[in-house]
Amino acid sequence: MSISALVFAIVSQVVHTIGAIATMGFYTDPAYFPLWSTLMMPGASPPGLMFYAASLAFSFLSGLIFAFAYTNVKKSIPGKGMMKGVNFGLLCFLMVQVTSALTMFLLLAVPAALLLSWALESLVVFAVCGAVFSKVIG
């Protein structure tokens, strides 16, 4: 499972970095500075090393949880081969990201376009990692 978690962390970091570059205007807009944690934005500057270390650690932990869940429910997921993993990723996307995005939209002043970007990033991460997990885990 640790190899799968490492794959999840790498894919997650790559996809979310590309997403952050594509939506950089939201992160550099002073109107949104109060939204970001001091770990991410200690000031009007890029995140520090601690943010990246925490991000990698959290991605690895998320990958362990994702792999554990896949291992325990893979027999009940429809599809064969990589499609089984993709279907698992889609299920996770619906259960985790969609419900979280709806809650964030209600509670936080995060722009809808940024929430949509985060959702699309998560969809890619979950689907790609699901496909990889179907090969690595079985």
pLDDT in tens, 50-79: 999 999 999 999 999 999 999 999 999 999
pLDDT-derived band at 35 (thresholds 50, 70, 90) equals: confident
Tokens of 50: 């601690």
Cα 90 to the center of its chain, rounded Å: 13
Q: Name the residue with higher pLDDT: 105 or 42.
A: 105
The pLDDT score that the predictor gives to residue 47 is: 84
Mean pLDDT value of segment 103-122: 94
The pLDDT score that the predictor gives to residue 43 is: 74
Say what percent of the chain tops pLDDT 90: 78
Angle value at C-alpha 76, between 74 and 79, nearest 5 degrees? 75
Residue that has been written with the tokens 């496909």 in this structure: 131
How much of the chain is helix, strand and coil, in % rounded to 5? 80, 0, 20
